[in-house]
Amino acid sequence: MIRIVNNINDFVKKDENIETIIQTTQETWQKDRTEQSKKQDTELGKLAENIVEGYIKTNMKDITYLSYDDFRKDEFKKHAPFDGLIYNKKTTVKIQYVINAINKEVGDNQYGKISDGLKNKLHQNKIYIVEVKSTRVSEQRHFVANKIDLDKLLEDDFLEYPKYLRVDKFDTMNNMEAYIDFCKKYRSFKCNDNLDCLNKIKNEELSNMRHVYIRVYIDIKNSIGYIIGYITNAEFIKNLNLKKMVQPGKSEKALYLSCSLRNASDLEELNNI
């Protein structure tokens, strides 16, 4: 069920750290993005996160969304390893211990990453790291007869970068088999038959992923947000594909792990996660 949020301008907050975030944004494929473009994308992403946080606070009384930006200690100088944490308000885990552990690992890691071990500990204690992905509503792609078609939104995918390769410079990869062959040849990835290789690469990707992915579409013109829902990393992996999203002049060679948005669960089911 797509959750519709009106008057999203109410969720726009002045963020003094935007300029610092822009300077530390990792450019995976679009190397020549302008400062204005990066600023707009960063602000859109933060707006989507604020929409999700506001919806959860208003409608989902059992869980808390805690933005990484609200507790990070790196002065916004490193790339954020995730957008936020989701956990049940009744958790017996002391959240400050979690915050301290995350900030320590980010501080110790050159690239601001946290370890698979810490991610596993969080998951075992039902504290989930979250990515909120924002997308602008496109009248060309998502409208029919001058009105948004919600089914058109579901034609898109949840996305994540592969663990071992983000950019296919030689344009040779179009499926998981080709990606596995690359990993065997250049990443010392060892496996036996095709099924064994696929299962092992899925396990590798699973450990590299966030626990929960949330997708939000934003209609700036009409001040409406569409929360498509969420998917866990386990469900993502079950329905995994590898694809390219060809945008002329931008991402012709960027690789993504993908999973149809039709596999999304209603956001409010996070109450039961």
**Average pLDDT of the residues in 178-196:** 92
Within 8 A by CB and 6+ apart from 27, the residues are 33
Spatial distance between the Cα atoms of 80 and 26, rounded to a whole number of angstroms? 10
Q: Report the pLDDT value the prediction gives residue 73, as an integer from 0 to 100.
A: 96
248 pLDDT tier (thresholds 50, 70, 90): low
Encode pLDDT of 26-71 as tens digits: 555 455 667 787 788 888 999 999 999 999 999 999 999 999 999 9
Spatial distance between the Cα atoms of 132 and 230, rounded to a whole number of angstroms? 9
Encode pLDDT of 116-151 as tens digits: 999 999 999 999 999 999 999 988 889 888 889 999
Q: Report the pLDDT value the prediction gives residue 249, as an integer from 0 to 100.
A: 53
108/248: higher pLDDT = 108
- Give all strands (DSSP E) within 124-223, no chain letters: 127-136, 143-144, 147-148, 157-160, 212-219
User: Would you tell me how many other CB atoms lie within 10 Å of the CB of residue 5?
Assistant: 20
Going from N- to C-terminal start, the domains of the chain cover: 3-155+210-237+261-272
Rounded to the nearest integer, the mean pLDDT of the chain is 90
Structure tokens at 72: 């990070």
**Average pLDDT of the residues in 138-166:** 92
245/76: higher pLDDT = 76
Encode pLDDT of 189-224 as tens digits: 999 998 999 999 999 999 999 999 999 999 999 999
Nearest to 63 by CA among 95, 96, 89, 98: 89
Please say whether the dihedral angle defined by the alpha carbons of residues 29, 31, 32 and 34, taken in this order, is positive or negative: positive
User: Cβ distance 119 to 106 under 8 Å?
Assistant: no
Q: Report the pLDDT value the prediction gives residue 224, as an integer from 0 to 100.
A: 96
Q: Report the pLDDT value the prediction gives residue 250, as an integer from 0 to 100.
A: 55
Rg of the chain over Cα atoms, rounded to whole angstroms, equals: 19
Q: Report the pLDDT value the prediction gives residue 23, as an integer from 0 to 100.
A: 66
Q: Report the pLDDT value the prediction gives residue 247, as an integer from 0 to 100.
A: 61
245 pLDDT tier (thresholds 50, 70, 90): confident
Predicted TM-score (pTM) of the model is 0.92
